[in-house]
Amino acid sequence: MAIARLLLGLWLILLVGQARGAWWSRSSCSRVNCVWGGWRGWGACNHPCGNAGTQSRSRGVARSASCGGSGCSGPSSQTRACNRFCNNGGTLQSAYCECPDEYWDTCCDKPCKRIHNCRFRRCTSGTNQHCGRCEHDHGGEKKAYRLVSRGGHSNRVCEKLCSWRKDSIFCYPGNCPDVPTSCQCAPGFGGPNCLTISTKPSIIDCLITAEVDVGSSVEKVEISCADESNPVVYSNVVSTTVKIDFKTAFKGPSASVYPRKYYINDFKVGITEAIFQYIVTRGE
């Protein structure tokens, strides 16, 4: 019995010793530092254009610190600039673009609707386009088109004017209507652009000299031909040579009634060619 008690006491001591050793093992640990996870993708930009757009991304802790380890250092999120631009030469604003001529919308990526013969278009939407200046506008009255309103919108159409251009009319000498359709020509003029003369020139003086060789001398007979109403002239001289001397005049339109437009550099009218036809008929 004594031996049994002794063995039991030793066994209990061993068990207690083993239990104490296991407790010390569980209460001690290794130092573990914090570890970041990878960065997530960049988020959407908060503005489509301008000079204030930003976007962010974040990351989480993959392993937390333990047993006195160091915590994670550095930010958990990042922010960067984005979409800081303007299309078609627009000017950067805080969250949009100030558009140049011919473009509109937040980022100036949409063109204004076309206006024929317009040099500079402006608009702030897809329907309110207007023209700032028409083609071939040289200031003042020197222009081939003028701006007119249409459909309740100002400066919506470039309307053709009389001008120097081949696709228009200049009507001189004469007057041109506001919208060039046909010319109001000065009296005595007509045709395209009033360049056809329909009035005959006036004969101021006309003298026919009939010459006849008579041996050693020459006989001359002078006959007036200034009377246009009587084209027949009689004479008993059978001429061998006929000389005609005549003076004519043509009076152009009045400059005060038909003043020159800016696109008319010069205007001259007169007789450039004269043809005299005569027929000799011998009477019985």
Contact yes or no for 170/189 (Cβ under 8 A): no
Q: Looking at the DSSP assignment, which residues form a beta bridge with residue 36?
A: 61
Q: Quote the pLDDT of residue 20.
A: 46
pTM: 0.57
Print pLDDT tens along the chain (284 aa): 444 443 434 334 444 444 444 444 455 789 999 999 999 999 999 999 999 999 999 999 999 999 999 999 999 999 999 999 999 999 999 999 999 999 999 999 999 999 999 999 999 999 999 999 999 999 988 999 999 999 888 999 999 999 989 889 999 999 888 778 888 899 889 988 998 888 888 878 888 887 777 666 777 777 777 776 666 766 666 667 778 887 888 777 777 788 888 888 888 887 777 777 777 776 66
Q: Quote the pLDDT of residue 6.
A: 38
The dihedral formed by the CA atoms of 182, 187, 190 and 195, expressed in degrees to the nearest 10: -110
Q: How far apart are CA 143 and CA 131, in angstroms?
A: 15
Whether 111 is covered by a domain: the verdict is yes
Whether 100 is covered by a domain: the verdict is yes
The dihedral formed by the CA atoms of 234, 236, 242 and 247, expressed in degrees to the nearest 10: -30
What total number of domains does the chain contain? Answer: 1
Whether 145 is covered by a domain: the verdict is yes
Whether 270 is covered by a domain: the verdict is no
Q: Quote the pLDDT of residue 2.
A: 45
Q: How far apart are CA 91 and CA 101, in angstroms?
A: 12
Whether 224 is covered by a domain: the verdict is no
Q: Quote the pLDDT of residue 230.
A: 67
Q: How far apart are CA 118 and CA 139, in angstroms?
A: 15
Whether 28 is covered by a domain: the verdict is no
End-to-end alpha carbon distance in the chain = 199
Residue ranges making up the domain that contains 142: 91-160
Whether 149 is covered by a domain: the verdict is yes
Whether 39 is covered by a domain: the verdict is no
Beta-carbon contacts of 116 under 8 Å, excluding residues fewer than 6 positions away, are 157, 158
